């Protein structure tokens, strides 16, 4: 007896989606092998971010161990390494991490190929997620958030609509971001209800001809 064909479409695996982004240069290109898009390269986005992160990292007498979860092409992370005791950079694309290992070498810098929704995360003081969760389904966001309680600080950067919006509309991982649904992530709202001691907005960037706002928020977790 023949088995019935399963016509239910399975969600596009995040790893496959991210690999295709780089292979097909869906976020653009600067003629390098890997390019993580304008969010990692536009000076008016990157420079203010580096400034506020540098100020935060330098506010501690003892440098922090930082986990960059979704490090991309490391154009941003490379500018923060010197302000940390140890910098652990994570991404889901093996070929991207292999490239980063060849390009960026520091004694206190380590790269890992991990799926942050499925795999155990490196231990550190602060988790950095810059425009990462916005690409993930609610189920994957929830799995990531459940692991972030192991950090003292979490710094999230998300691309959200301007003004009021309905938060946390679900998407399929890797297929655009919630902005197309006039939504954006708010990890403190349902269904996530991420528990924090303190929330502080570090940065909000809106550029002409650029939809929405890129918001960076610091959460003190415990």
The domain ranges of the chain are 14-220
SS3 217: strand
Average pLDDT over residues 55-61: 98
Residue carrying structure tokens 């003892």: 62
Q: What is the pLDDT of residue 28?
A: 67
**What are the pLDDT digits (tens) for 102-135?**
999 999 999 999 999 999 999 999 999 999 999 9
Q: Is residue 152 pLDDT above 80, yes or no?
A: yes
In angstroms, how far is CA 120 from the centroid of its own chain? 16
Percent of the chain exceeding pLDDT 70 equals 89
Report how far apart, in Å, the C-alpha atoms of 55 and of each of 41, 202, 220 are: 20, 10, 16
pTM above 0.75, yes or no: yes
Q: Is residue 45 pLDDT above 70, yes or no?
A: yes
Name which CATH class applies to 14-220: alpha beta
What length does the chain have?
222
DSSP 90: E
In angstroms, how far is CA 193 from the centroid of its own chain? 19
User: Between residues 24 and 66, which one has the greater pLDDT?
Assistant: 66
Q: Is residue 6 pLDDT above 50, yes or no?
A: no
Q: Is residue 171 pLDDT above 70, yes or no?
A: yes
Q: Is residue 182 pLDDT above 60, yes or no?
A: yes
DSSP 5: P
CB 100 within 8 A of CB 74: yes
CB atoms within 10 A of CB 72: 27
């Amino acid at each position: 007896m023949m088995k019935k064909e399963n016509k239910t479409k399975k969600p596009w695996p995040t790893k496959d989606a991210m690999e295709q982004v780089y292979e097909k240069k869906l976020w653009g290109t600067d003629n390098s092998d890997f390019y993580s898009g304008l969010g990692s390269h536009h000076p008016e986005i990157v420079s203010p971010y580096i400034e506020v992160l540098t100020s935060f990292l330098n506010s501690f007498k003892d440098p922090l161990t930082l986990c960059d979860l979704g490090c991309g092409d490391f154009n941003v992370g490379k500018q923060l390494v010197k302000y940390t005791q140890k910098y652990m950079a994570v991404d889901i694309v093996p070929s991207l991490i292999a490239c980063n290992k060849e390009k960026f070498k520091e004694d206190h810098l380590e790269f890992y190929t991990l799926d942050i929704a499925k795999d155990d995360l490196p231990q550190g003081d602060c988790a950095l997620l810059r425009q990462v969760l916005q690409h993930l389904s609610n189920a994957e966001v929830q799995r990531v958030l459940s692991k972030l309680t192991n950090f003292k600080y979490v710094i999230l950067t998300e691309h959200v609509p301007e003004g009021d919006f309905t938060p946390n509309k679900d998407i399929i991982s890797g297929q655009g971001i919630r902005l197309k649904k006039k939504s954006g992530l708010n990890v403190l709202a349902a269904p996530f209800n991420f528990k924090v001691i303190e929330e502080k907005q570090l940065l909000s960037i809106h550029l002409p001809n650029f939809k929405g706002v890129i918001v960076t928020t610091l959460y003190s977790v415990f």
